[in-house]
Amino acid sequence: MWVFPFSQGAQTMLLAHRLLFTSIFLSPSSSSPSLKPQPLTLTFSNPTHAKPTRHVSPASKTTPIMEKDRSVLFVPPGVDPDEVTPDMVLPGSNIVIGPYAGDAKIKEVVFVKSSSRAKDCPKHDRPEFAILGRSNVGKSSLINALVKKKDVALTSKKPGKTKLINHFLVNKSWYFVDLPGYGFAKAPEAARMDWSAFTKGFFLNRDNLVAVLLLVDASVPPQRIDLDCANWLGRNNIPMTFVFTKCDKMKGGKGKRPDENLRDFKQFIAENYKQHPPWIMTSSVTGLGRDELLLHMSQLRNYWDQ
């Protein structure tokens, strides 16, 4: 468990640690994203219905990945990029697992409090992961799937139900933070959240924020509001992981498949980030990506907590 004394020296060390940590994750190369869809050349695994673009034979699972293919991966601290092999990459993601990955089991989840202002949130005494996304992205459903309980986070058929910053204490050692969704245009004007003043204030004032899990709906094409949010987080050196939700869904037989939408979004990542941030495919219905996401979170948390 973390306990920060928050003396002036401790604050200086924490700031240096955060700057090092964020430099590993994000480096937007432009502020004007391009949405020109071009397929990426490498897929390590494909849990959706599409056929894999590259087959990895058993003999090649422990063969180091070529540099051009390695460039699309998220390689965590403690791993030599030249030594990355296909069996080190989590299925349905670009995430390499390293030595900081540890016990990812969730044994206990306790609701702590809801806060209407960032300054009213719990003290900065434990690491936390903030979960953010559009109002109908499936945020509450993902939280419930991760903790394997149906009623931990409120789910509703009316998007935009979360209006407060909700802290959940996991295993008495770290927090899930359920943040208000953004971009729900059908909400009454008086009920819409001022995301700029409300949620952004949280990000800029939480020294114990390990990473933002930015949820992106894979059942629809890339949305400008998601790209703008990703760019804002990048410009402010906020570590993030793209979590693609609803990877089991197709919109009534019309439009693109989830794997096609993922391809387009990954092209945006390739065009706008010098170093690729981590991303992972999930489904709260089938459980796709649940264990892998928790394992990824464990290595981020353990590295931050060293």
Distances from the Cα of 227 to the Cα of 91, 223, 306, angstroms: 24, 7, 32
Alpha carbons 245 and 281: distance in angstroms, whole number: 6
**How far from chain centre, in Å, is Cα 94?**
12
Length of the chain: 306
The residue extents of the domains of the chain are 100-305
pLDDT in tens, 12-39: 334 444 444 444 444 455 444 443 333 3
DSSP helix, strand, coil percent of the chain (3-state; round to 5)? 30, 15, 50
The mean of the pLDDT values for the chain is 76
pLDDT at 31: 44
CATH superfamily label, 100-305: P-loop containing nucleotide triphosphate hydrolases (3.40.50.300)
Across 176-191, b (16+ Cβ under 10 Å) vs e yields: bbbbbbbbbeebeeee
Angle made by CA atoms 138, 33, 294, in degrees to the nearest 5: 35
Which residues on neighbouring strands pair with residue 253, listed in sequence order? none
pLDDT in tens, 40-51: 333 333 333 333
Distances from the Cα of 214 to the Cα of 7, 51, 230, angstroms: 32, 26, 8
Alpha carbons 50 and 260: distance in angstroms, whole number: 9
pLDDT per residue rounded down to tens, the chain (306 residues): 333 233 333 333 344 444 444 444 444 554 444 433 333 333 333 333 333 333 444 545 678 887 767 889 999 999 999 999 999 999 999 999 999 999 899 999 999 999 988 889 998 889 999 999 998 898 889 999 999 876 666 544 444 445 789 999 999 999 999 998 887 545 444 444 455 566 788 898 898 999 999 999 999 999 998 998 999 898 899 999 999 999 987 655 566 788 889 999 988 888 888 888 999 999 999 999 999 999 999 999 999 988
Closest among 125, 150, 142, 151 to 179, alpha carbons compared: 142
pTM for the model stands at 0.78
Q: Which two tokens stand for residue 227?
A: 């790209």
